[in-house]
Amino acid sequence: MSARDRLLPRRSVLSGLVATGAAGISGVESASPAAAPIPVRQDIVRLPPQRLASLEAAIGEMQRRSRRDPADPKGWRVNALAHTHVCSSVSNADLAQVHGCWWFLPWHRAFLAVTEWKLRALSGDRTIALPYWNWSSDRRIPAPFARAGSALADAARYTPDRDLLAVEVDHLSFDPLRASLGVAALEARSFPARTPDAIPASFGGIAKPNAAGWHGHSRMETVPHNAIHNYAGGEASDGAVGDMTELARAAFDPIFFAHHGNLDRLWEIWRQDPARKATEPTDRDFIEKQFLFPWLDGTIIAVPMADVLDTQRLGYVYDSLGVLRDGLVPAADAIRPDAARRRLASALLRVPSDAMRCELRIHGVQPGDRPLSVEIAMARPDNPASWISVGAHAMGSAHGPAVFPDTEPRFDVTAAVRLLAAPVVDVAVLPLALGVGQQSWPPFRNTGMEIVAADV
Ligand code: C2O
């Protein structure tokens, strides 16, 4: 493949719908035929200043275009709306909806790549690559995204004044086995879920379409994905929510691309294991899929799945496939679950005896009209010093037909109940602040919870 093909959208022919990709955009056809290195997506904290400046200039130019003309196909808004159209403006059951099914990781990968191609084409800097936010290591919004006046800070954000908690970034430190993964979702052994029951434990989610119309969040989608959206967007004291917290506006915030960059990188980390990669679907529906995006000249381009499954064909590689930067484990959370914290729900639950694996299941969770992130913790009823944080659940605000398809969250609590060694445990749902000084939370609606013996 030529360097040009690597850096730019491939021309696609899709009866009538698709025009000619990037051809004709200034600087594109004159790309040197000599092999150019594949652009490297870097950790934002390691991005050299001149590369950061180039990225800011390119994103800033797209934002300015949208301010002048909201319909400008070269603008940031038109690009961001591509996400709105497959997110909040279609219901979970709609075939165009890419969340809650196995299009979640591939679609966002294609969207990031197309955005990157646009930034390269518009700026003439063919080395631009979207940096990622390694929230496993950096539990606050990285400084370049917060610098006043920067294009990267041009977004509605009400980020709470606290670090992301370990449970929000899916670092389950109470369980040595899963803590060693850095992000517990990496333990998922299969990309697809073949039954609705298997969706929460799968890395990639359920087929879409599927005969029964199932949908639901795969292992990464609620946590860490939603939890970090909620943190980055936050909620203001007057009830306004940030771009990242509101489905319809999430991709307006440049940090969306750094957040999804890290999720995309985790996919690459996960698939380094050949046995896991081998589970990626070979179904024709999957490998022959094409994703459509608006291009800079107002036409539609198609990104074929064959490219999505190979980042080099999309035109990028990552600087590192380590979960934690330099392998350094961040300090333990400053906030700990304890008996004194407000509870949105709680229950005394019996622990099944002799179970090889125990799962905490919360039933009938309904999203409200405000974003909500909660930590799930358990303790021995007779020992308030024994609280362990076993996971989180997070729902943003969706003012549209899409809702959060994760109404039956499950948590593997095998290690936790072993540690607590009690026949009955106290389980609490603790709200996490998403606003500065937040004191009130929407209710956590659910129909019950239980701990069950699960299949190994
Ligand atoms: Cu399409 Cu992070 O959401």
pLDDT 10s digits, 161-189: 999 999 999 999 889 899 999 999 999 99
Give φ, ψ of 419 to 5 degrees: -65, -40
Taking only the tens place, the pLDDT of each residue in 224-283 is 999 999 999 999 999 899 999 999 999 999 999 999 999 999 999 999 999 999 999 999
Q: Are 427 and 346 in contact (CB under 8 A)?
A: yes
Q: Are 300 and 292 in contact (CB under 8 A)?
A: yes
The bridge status of strand 410-412 relative to strand 317-318 is unpaired
Ligand 1 centroid – CA 244 distance (Å):
9
Q: How far apart are CA 260 and CA 354, in angstroms?
A: 40
Q: How far apart are CA 164 and CA 176, in angstroms?
A: 20
Residue 108 has pLDDT above 90, yes or no: yes
Ligand 1 centroid – CA 104 distance (Å):
8
362 token code pair: 């919360």
Taking only the tens place, the pLDDT of each residue in 296-326 is 999 999 999 999 999 999 999 999 999 999 9
Ligand 1 centroid – CA 417 distance (Å):
33
| Index of the ligand 1 atom closest to the CA of residue 86 | 1
Ligand 1 centroid – CA 83 distance (Å):
8
What is the average per-residue pLDDT within 422-442?
93
> How would residue 131 be classed by pLDDT, with cut points 50, 70 and 90?
very high
| Index of the ligand 1 atom closest to the CA of residue 247 | 3
| Index of the ligand 1 atom closest to the CA of residue 87 | 1
Ligand 1 centroid – CA 394 distance (Å):
13
Which residues neighbour 32 within 8 Å (Cβ) at sequence distance 6 or greater?
3
Q: Which H/E stretch holds residue 55?
A: helix 49-68
Ligand 1 centroid – CA 85 distance (Å):
12
What is the average per-residue pLDDT within 14-32?
37
Ligand 1 centroid – CA 260 distance (Å):
7
Residue 433 has pLDDT above 70, yes or no: yes
| Index of the ligand 1 atom closest to the CA of residue 107 | 1
Residue 213 has pLDDT above 60, yes or no: yes
Which residues neighbour 22 within 8 Å (Cβ) at sequence distance 6 or greater?
8, 9, 28, 117, 121, 295, 296, 301
Taking only the tens place, the pLDDT of each residue in 82-100 is 999 999 999 998 999 999 9
pLDDT of residue 20: 34
Ligand 1 centroid – CA 84 distance (Å):
9
Q: Which residues line ligand 1 (CB under 6 A)?
A: 83, 87, 99, 108, 225, 229, 250, 260
Per-residue 3-state assignment (H helix, E strand, C coil) for 268-336: HHHCCCHHHHCCCCCCHHHHCCEEEEECCCCCEEEEEHHHHCCHHHHCCEECCCCCCHHHCCCCCCCCC
pLDDT of residue 112: 98
| Index of the ligand 1 atom closest to the CA of residue 99 | 1
| Index of the ligand 1 atom closest to the CA of residue 226 | 2
